[in-house]
Structure 1
Amino acid sequence: MKVRDGLSTHLTVAQQYDHLVEKGAIKRDPAQERVVRELDLLVDRIREKRMARKSRALGWLFGKGKKTNEPITGLYIHGEVGRGKSMLMDLFYQIVPARAKRRVHFNVFMADVHDRIARHRQALKDGKTKETDPIPPVAAELAQEAWVLCFDEFTVTDIADAMILSRLFSSLFENGVVLIATSNVDPDDLYKDGLNRGLFLPFIKILKDHVKVLHLAADTDYRMEKLNRLPVYLTPLGPETERMMDQAWETVVNGREVRTETVTVMGRGIPVPRAAGDAARFSFAELCEAPLGARDYQALVERYKTLFIDDIPVMDLPQRNAAKRFILLVDTLYEARTRVVLSAAAAPDRLYIAKTGTESFEFARTASRLTEMQSEEWQETSAAAAAAG
């Protein structure tokens, strides 16, 4: 049995959960424990199916034992924000015995689906395929890559997504995909009041036919408790500030897998070096020394509710372009009420020291907003906005 970061990697979800309780990372919650039991049952079913597939492939048990083509019912875990849904799914994802598995934010998954559909249509136009319907081949490709599919923050707001979900997921389930999803809403409330919702309703039935719906009704909003204790603006730069930034990041990540992602804007990809759920972490250079603009920053705050920005330097005239981007970035964060955690070389009113140029005047607003972001009132409203995401 392997051990990583003090936690065995080949255990049950319940054992991992108990380990987190014992080390004080979480509090034991009966509502969470009910979900844990269901996740472990699902792990067992997936393990049985994987072993049966392997045995059948080797010809050892051909024609004997349980059928391996029986579909596995997945899980749809919904409840209010901050109740630990993503944390529990991550514990499941770490141990589920399937190599072809994928854990992804639902919006990122759908962006990938639309990209694949566009490529298929281009291939049809170029004469490289005769398949006029892109959904079946796209679904087959996705199922081949991952037959255990974990969605974080399952929600439907885009009509382009809504109109293809019934056919897409029918095909995914036909290809043997097992779905595990977390959401803030009951399946019956997905795409509520959305345009042409009647065309979307068949998807809800398909979904409920293939998942067991669990309501995680924990009493405590653990995420809000943690968010309200986070620092906002750390200075000066140095080992202690870096340690505090890392500690705050671990609090927000809350045991979830940290990975690189890409946010697509107008056909361009913005690399996200560290992301976990709806939180992302960048350096100042990655956000303000790269050729990014208003659309890019807006896309980031729409995708992530909490942003960490490391190593904001003191800027002078040679850094005026980076200062312009930083002004724009702070304006975007401010308007979106995005939760921020920043490390900087100096206090906000000392970050831009040039006395000439429009940036020297504009930066006064930026400094004021950075100062406001440190207030208790700001932290409460931005933490609430982050939790509502």
Structure 2
Amino acid sequence: MRQNMTVTEAYAAAVTEGRLTRDPAQQGVLPELDRIRAALAAPVKTGLFRKAPPPVPGLYMWGGVGRGKSMLMDLAYAQIDVPKRRQHFHAFMQWVHSEIAEARKTGVNDAIKPVAAKLIADIRLLAFDEMQITDITDAMIVGRLFEALFAAGVTVITTSNRPPDDLYKDGLNRQLFLPFIALLKDRMVVHELAADTDYRQGRLAGTETYFTPADAEARARIKTIWDDISHGISEPLTLRIKGRDVVLPQFHNGVARASFFDLCGRPLGAADYLALADAVRVLILEDIPSLGRDNFNEAKRFVTLVDALYEAKTRLICSAAAAPEFLYREGEGSFEFERTASRLREMQAEGWGVDETA
């Protein structure tokens, strides 16, 4: 797709080319994206006495999963020609924590200031995918960081599955986070994307989700699914949970791809899997081995992972050594695994994981 189009023109071109289906709810947000594009395209004064560019109100798009929020943000991002940065929110916060740690090594009193200064010097547009706050430390950091970015004229576009007032809902000391919510609502246009269709579910409709055995054919078929979802674009996603890093090797637009060893071969626990299930809407998990007394710890972690995915209604696409009922045939835990096998079967059903409330 060529650049230098309005976002509305880019959307129309994608519809004409058959890459998108016209959706009134999606079309309803295009004027806001074009507003941001036009304002950021205005010339910025340079020189010794230049002032910070006038603030361009950003956009907070929220709504159910699979409604096209990330697609619309990416469509606008491609047509906005200013210094910019686009990241999944979890990946961005991981970068922020790393930069804060480096700043502290220099002995600065306020380690957030140099991180904000670095961003302000490099970008005019910051695009986030799937903003969510689950940690009080992140809540405090992101509040101060955004305050500095907004003051310097950086524009933010973000997507989220929840409205601003529900961010960090019921979190510890949430009253300390409320000024940030007020700042978001003051400096960004809040727009609900209330589309009726879950396009991510539509893309996966009729797709086989459990491949056995985990052989070359299964790998090839999963690769086809991944390529269709990711369009060849992915990046690792690191979730920092209680001081630990959980790394998903491949991630794109809410879909993660990892091996059994990546997630169950390491000493992870329920908190890690709950955070993972909250961060991704579809998990592709490859090479689940036969389970039993020889890999008892890995099997226990797999049970915990499946429970977390099931409760979060996260779609699971996987390859395994055997059908669910035959994955765990012997040893301690085989009886308890019957519930996991039942859940794995249920999660293969057509339409499982559709958000009934979205």
1:312 and 2:288 equivalent? yes
1:180-191 residue pairs with structure 2 within 5 A? 180-187=157-164, 190=167
The answer on 1:172 being equivalent to 2:161 is no
User: Structure 1 residues 73, 299: closer, same or farther in 2, change over 3 A?
Assistant: closer
Q: Distance in 2 between matches of 1:192 and 1:366?
A: 30
- Structure 1, unaligned stretches of length 5 or more? 1-6
Stretch of structure 1 that moved more, 154-163 or 164-173: 154-163
- Cα distance, 1:179 vs. partner? 0.6
Judged with a 3 Å threshold, the aligned counterparts in structure 2 of structure 1 residues 336 and 11 are, in CA distance, closer, same or farther, namely: same
Name the residue aligned to 2:355. 384
* Letter matched to residue 159 of structure 2: T
Distance 1:316 1:159 in 2: 39
Matched, 1:148 2:131: no
Question: What is the aligned counterpart of 1:211 among 179, 182, 188?
Answer: 188
Q: Is the 2:303–2:340 Cα contact (8 Å) retained in structure 1?
A: yes
CA-CA distance at 1:28 after TM superposition: 0.5
| Match of residue 303 from structure 1 | 279
Name the CA shift for 1:317/1:187 in 2 (closer, same or farther; >3 Å).
closer
Is the Cα contact below 8 Å between 2:52 and 2:152 reproduced in 1? no
**1:263 aligned residue (216, 239, 250):** 239
- SS of the residue corresponding to residue 342 of structure 2 reads helix
Inter-partner Cα distance in structure 1 for 2:236 and 2:274: 19
1:273 partner amino acid = P
- 2:69 maps to 1:92: no
- Residues 1:22 and 2:16 are matched in the alignment: yes
Which structure has the greater CA radius of gyration?
Answer: 1
- 3-state SS in 1 of match to 2:14: helix
Spell out the pairing of 1:53-72 with structure 2 (5 A cutoff). 56=46, 69-72=53-56
Cα drift, residue 281 of structure 1: 0.9
Aligned to 2:25: 31
Deviation at 1:142, TM superposition (A): 3.3
User: Are positions 1:45 and 2:39 aligned together?
Assistant: yes
Q: Does 1:370 align with 2:344?
A: yes
How far apart, in 2, do the equivalents of 1:193 and 1:363 lie?
Answer: 33
Structure 2 SS opposite 1:358: coil
Deviating more after overlay: 209-218 vs 88-97: 209-218
Which among 130, 137, 140 is matched to residue 114 of structure 2?
Answer: 137
Of 224, 236, 248, 1:272 maps to 248
Structure 1 pair 172/316, CA: closer, same or farther in 2 (3 Å)?
same
Corresponding residue for 2:60?
76
Equivalent residue number for residue 197 of structure 2 = 220
Specify whether residues 239 and 117 from structure 1 end up closer, same or farther in structure 2 by C-alpha distance, changes over 3 A only: closer
The match for 1:3 is none
Aligned residue pair count: 358
Deviation at 1:321, TM superposition (A): 5.2
Report the aligned-residue RMSD.
3.7
TM-score by length of 2: 0.80
Give, in whole Å, the separation in 2 of the partners of 1:196 and 1:259.
33
Identity of aligned residues (%): 46
Taking structure 1 as reference, are residues 194 and 235 closer, same or farther at Cα in structure 2, changes over 3 Å only? closer
Give the structure with the larger helix fraction.
1
Deviation at 1:260, TM superposition (A): 1.1
Query: Is the CA contact (8 Å cut-off) linking 2:292 and 2:334 kept in structure 1?
Result: no
Q: Offset of 1:363 from its aligned partner? A: 4.3
Which residue type is aligned with residue 374 of structure 1?
A: Q
Distance 1:332 1:190, change over 3 A: closer
1:371 partner amino acid: R
TM-score by length of 1: 0.75
Q: Give the alignment partner of residue 109 of structure 1, picking from 82, 87, 92.
A: 92
Contact 2:41 2:81 in 1 (8 A): yes
Q: Deviations over 1:196-225 (max 9, x none)?
A: 655444334433443233343434343454
Name the CA shift for 1:78/1:371 in 2 (closer, same or farther; >3 Å).
Answer: closer
In structure 2, the gaps of 5 or more residues are none
Distance 1:289 1:219, change over 3 A: closer
What letter matches 1:383 in structure 2? Answer: V
CA apart distance, 1:177: 1.6
Q: Give the Cα–Cα distance (whole angstroms) in 2 for the partners of residues 367 and 193 of structure 1.
A: 33
